[in-house]
Amino acid sequence: MLCPAFYDSVCKITNFYEGNEVHKVSKHILKNGLTVLLKEVHSAPIISWWMLYRVGSRNEPTGLTGASHWVEHMLFKGTEKYPPRLLDRLIDRQGGTWNAQTFFDYTAYYATMPADQIDLPLEIEVDRMINAKFLPEDVESERTVIISERQGSENSPLFWLGEEINAAAFRVHGYHHEIIGDLHDLQTMTRDDLYQHYRNHYMPNNAIAVAVGAFDTETMLSRITELYEGVPAGTPPKPFMRPEPPQSGERRVKVERPGTTAFYEMAYHAPAGNDPDWFKLAVLDSVLTGPSGLGGGSIDNKSSRIYQALVKTELAASVSGSLIPTVDPYLYTISASVRQGRSIDDLENALEMEIDRIRQERISEAELYKAKKQARALFAYSTESVTSQAFWLAFCENFADYRWFEEYVQRLEAVTADEVLEVAQRYLRPQNRVIGTFIPLAMDTPTAIVEENHAYA
């Protein structure tokens, strides 16, 4: 029946704050290699079901950029058992919500349903793991949809800037291209390219399944085993690994397009999500730009150092930071929109002073305490929704282990001011960064033109 679980079946502990029962995650590996994580949450009669495949844009070679995301779209185009219109109809009709997301490191599908309807996505997901059709006419129809999706993103100046920064930061590694892919590849990729990508990566032994919600673990595991264990394991995909060599000097990119506002981004190479340094940088980010949310909403950052240095001094209109846990080392990025009438040089100088300061002086104990309390609050917000909890368990299992999420607050609590200083000195070096600027070229002020005689037959 089942391979030995990593942990004993569900264990219950008493919640310290309200006396409610809190269930631990149980982890199981089916005979075909499918990893299954289950967590009971009985606060609402709903269940979130996720299927994450260990394939994302980092796995795509030149010429096939965007394949993972395109395959994701094709899985909504139906199978013999579930024709395309029927899929959406069945989920909505049962009061569920479903979608999918493609990231650098994974492609994930999810459905959150009223608890008594969870069998539907369980059945759909196992079916499309192996039976997606990839009809040539559907591939062609979706080609223009995806190009339209890319063009929608291109309407934002920040898309162009982000694309150039990643290309500059990752000369070798697969993080160098946008998840949606390069336009040329989207125009030339074939149906067979996509189908091969699907067959190479969609198999139980390359997937993580997660359920969080109002179920009985034993019953749920039994049903998952019944549905999924018959799917044969595949030949694991050959890892597509091209490690990024160390950067040996600051790189700068400039994007010039019609626009009205200048943007500035400073991106440092950062450790992977499972590196102990990641948590130290997370505390540093909280001090510099404010805490990052975990899917339960974010909070303001007006007391953060860089807000105070850039926005309060009227150099920038807004600032933010981004540190994402990834499989391979990615980037820690500080972004700012330049206030009208202010110069990028002045903004950069002020930012440099803050970077120098955090590389030279320990953060205060008050700042450290604040970062930890913020982490505790944001973690609490993120666990209110079963969808968010299931996402984080699947996401973390992919780059580290699901316990990364469970131990998030505890590991941040353990960070010291000395460690923050260490990572500031190790990572926030000029030689380790890419600086990107968006320079707006003059454009006409948009003026509406009333058009006549446009009745359609």
Q: Under rule CB under 8 A, which residues in 27-56 are in contact with another protein?
A: 42-47
Taking CB under 8 A as the criterion, the residue among 9, 14, 62, 97 binding another protein is 97
Taking CB under 8 A as the criterion, the residue among 9, 12, 81, 116 binding another protein is 116
Should residue 136 be labelled a site residue for another protein when binding is judged by CB under 8 A?
no
Give me 451's structure tokens: 């058009």
**In sequence order, what are the residues at sequence separation of 6 or more whose Cβ sits closer than 8 angstroms to the Cβ of residue 48?**
110, 111, 112, 113, 210, 211, 212, 213, 385, 386, 387, 389, 390, 391
User: Please, what is the minimum distance in Å from the beta carbon of residue 89 to another protein?
Assistant: 5
Give the separation between CA 368 and CA 265, rounded to whole angstroms: 25
Taking CB under 8 A as the criterion, the residue among 94, 101, 196, 225 binding another protein is 94
Q: Which residues pair with 29 in a beta bridge?
A: 35
User: Please, what is the minimum distance in Å from the beta carbon of residue 441 to another protein?
Assistant: 8
Taking CB under 8 A as the criterion, the residue among 218, 257, 364, 431 binding another protein is 257
Distances (CA, A) of 282 to 63, 129, 249, 368: 35, 35, 24, 11
Kindly state the helix (H) or strand (E) to which residue 50 belongs, with its residue range. strand 46-53
Restricting to residues 188-217, name those near another protein by CB under 8 A: 214-215
Give the separation between CA 132 and CA 107, rounded to whole angstroms: 15
Q: Are 402 and 348 in contact (CB under 8 A)?
A: no
Should residue 13 be labelled a site residue for another protein when binding is judged by CB under 8 A?
no
Q: Which residues pair with 147 in a beta bridge?
A: none
Taking CB under 8 A as the criterion, the residue among 11, 297, 360, 410 binding another protein is 297
Restricting to residues 428-447, name those near another protein by CB under 8 A: 440-441, 443-447
The residue among 316 and 334 lying less far from another protein, judged by its C-beta, is 316
Give the separation between CA 27 and CA 337, rounded to whole angstroms: 44
Should residue 8 be labelled a site residue for another protein when binding is judged by CB under 8 A?
no
Should residue 172 be labelled a site residue for another protein when binding is judged by CB under 8 A?
no
Q: Are 207 and 231 in contact (CB under 8 A)?
A: no
Taking CB under 8 A as the criterion, the residue among 233, 381, 417, 429 binding another protein is 381
Kindly state the helix (H) or strand (E) to which residue 335 belongs, with its residue range. strand 331-338
List the end-to-end C-alpha distance of the chain, in Å, as a whole number. 64
Eight-class DSSP state of 229 = T
Restricting to residues 272-291, name those near another protein by CB under 8 A: 290-291
Taking CB under 8 A as the binding criterion, the range among 5-13, 192-200, 254-262, 417-425 that sits at the site for another protein is 254-262
**Count of residues near another protein by CB under 8 A:** 101
Q: Could you tell me whether strands 97-102 and 21-23 are parallel, antiparallel, or unpaired per DSSP bridges?
A: unpaired
Taking CB under 8 A as the criterion, the residue among 2, 5, 24, 84 binding another protein is 84
Restricting to residues 302-341, name those near another protein by CB under 8 A: 302-304, 311-312, 314, 317-318, 337-340
Taking CB under 8 A as the criterion, the residue among 143, 173, 305, 433 binding another protein is 143
Give me 93's structure tokens: 């009709």
The residue among 215 and 427 lying less far from another protein, judged by its C-beta, is 215
User: Please, what is the minimum distance in Å from the beta carbon of residue 417 to another protein?
Assistant: 16
